[in-house]
Amino acid sequence: MTTVSTLPRLRTPGVIARELGESLQRVQYVLRTRPHIKPAALASWSRLYDRPAVSIVQHDLNTMDARQNTHSSAP
């Protein structure tokens, strides 16, 4: 019997920015200002995030963009 365990794929903020097509500064801003987004692991000084955290970052960035578009289109 063989068991295959998959290791989680963790990402740095730079990798998250690249995956989402966003600037590193915007991703870092979301990670810094949202206390509910926690790193899954730490490697030296690097914080590593899992897929659910990336989804939350993407959602928060989309929400920020939607708010900005709403305010800029208001008369």
- Alpha carbon distance 16, 39 (integer Å): 12
Q: What is the pLDDT of residues 58-69, one digit of tens each?
A: 999 999 999 888
pLDDT for residue 70 is more than 80: no
Which one-letter amino acid corresponds to residue 15?
V
CB burial of 8-19 (b: ≥16 within 10 Å; e: otherwise) equals eebbbbebbbee
Mean predicted confidence (pLDDT) in 20-24: 97
Q: Is the pTM of this model over 0.75?
A: yes
User: How does the average pLDDT of the chain come out, rounded?
Assistant: 89
Cα atoms in the 13 Å half-sphere on the side-chain side of 37: 23
Mean predicted confidence (pLDDT) in 25-52: 95
| Burial of residue 30, with CB atoms counted within 10 A of its CB: 0-12 exposed, 13-18 middle, 19 or more buried | buried
